[in-house]
Structure 1
Amino acid sequence: MIPWTLRDSTDIPEGGTLRLMQRGAEFSIMLGSVELMNSRRGGSEEALGTLACQRMFGRTRPEILIGGLGMGFTLRAALAALADDAHITVAELVPAVVAWARGPMAEVFRGCLDDPRVAIVETDVGRVIRSARTRFDAILLDVDNGPDGLSRTGNDGLYDAPGLAAASTALRPGGVLAVWSARPDKAFGQRLRRAGFAVDETSARSRTGRGARHVIWLAAKPAAA
């Protein structure tokens, strides 16, 4: 078997080190001993982009915010589901992740960063959300292993009551907050409902027809009266 090799590493805010590993054509991003993402297992991240952006049908020039670039699965799925008049802002906190996307993992990304509908901003997605007022038609969050701040405790602020209120403010009427998680979280679903969202919870496998089941929440802000 081909051994894993370290391609690069980078420190992240609040401590910890991300490592980009490669084995043949396969890539893995690790935090300590925990694998955050793998280039062969992106089915549920693709589902996040597809399910959220399918709800944009009929909207003119939809504005989409994706929190977390990862390995581009969500971004590519969103691009495939959206029309040419859409615009996607991807907020990625760790500059090295963007560099990996344009460098060693360029084949994984398949040129999606060069799509004219895409803008990459190297910042905390929470900052983008808190500064927005009825700007986005959809906000897609895949910045951690779910609403528990595994890689960065600051991510907890995206999923608590004030964070969900900020997301609601940033969304246009009828907009969608979509959240990926590695596991179920009943309390988070309840927080979404208390924040005024209409919530659908679904699961998707990490690989087509097999692999771990992950959770996707699709939380709709009420349409204007």
Structure 2
Amino acid sequence: MNPILIFDLDGTLIDSAQDLHAAACRLLEGEGLSALPLETIRSFIGNGIPTLVDRIIDATGLQTRDRTRLISSFLEDYQAHATDLTAPYPDVEATLNHLLQSGHTLAICTNKPQRPAEKIIEDLGLSRYFQGLVGGDSLTERKPDPAGLHYLQSSLGGGPVVYVGDSEVDAETAVNAGMPFALFTEGYRKRPISEIPHAVSFSSFKDLPALAQNLLSAPA
């Protein structure tokens, strides 16, 4: 059984905050409202686009308007511009290639809807590294429910797993799944590193292969 590394997407493999912020600005402009700062939108990321839009609604007084319409409008616009400003974090592609060549199976578990997630990794040239992807709308449950991690582990051969993410939601998902968690510290976490459960943390993707190997070879 090949060892498996499952990655979160936003804030872990890719820095998508600027494109999400731009989509939020366009949504608010269309509703006749002023934009929210980038850091505000960054703080809203992590639980999927419906939750992101809910937080925008709460922050701007849009509660009287049709939530379903706002989510649909945001998603349609975002999908058209999802890689205008988005890019992988430094050394992501080289690290993925190294892991793949070293015999690891790679997958993604994200709360972003599956189709936009697939399009983003395709447009950024990353799709060839991954053998599976579970989005926020792929299963009946989404993170922090562990169903996505368990589904990917099972479908990819049942090997040992390390989950790699950047946020409190990712840490909770790994705990719920009973899997070791590698925390990327340069993403969208909202609390100090010391307050987020993790087996290892890293700020450079160059360090991930050695850290993952230690976790995968450790006794269960």
TM-score by length of 2: 0.42
Greater RCO, CA 8 A, separation 6+: 2
TM-score by length of 1: 0.41
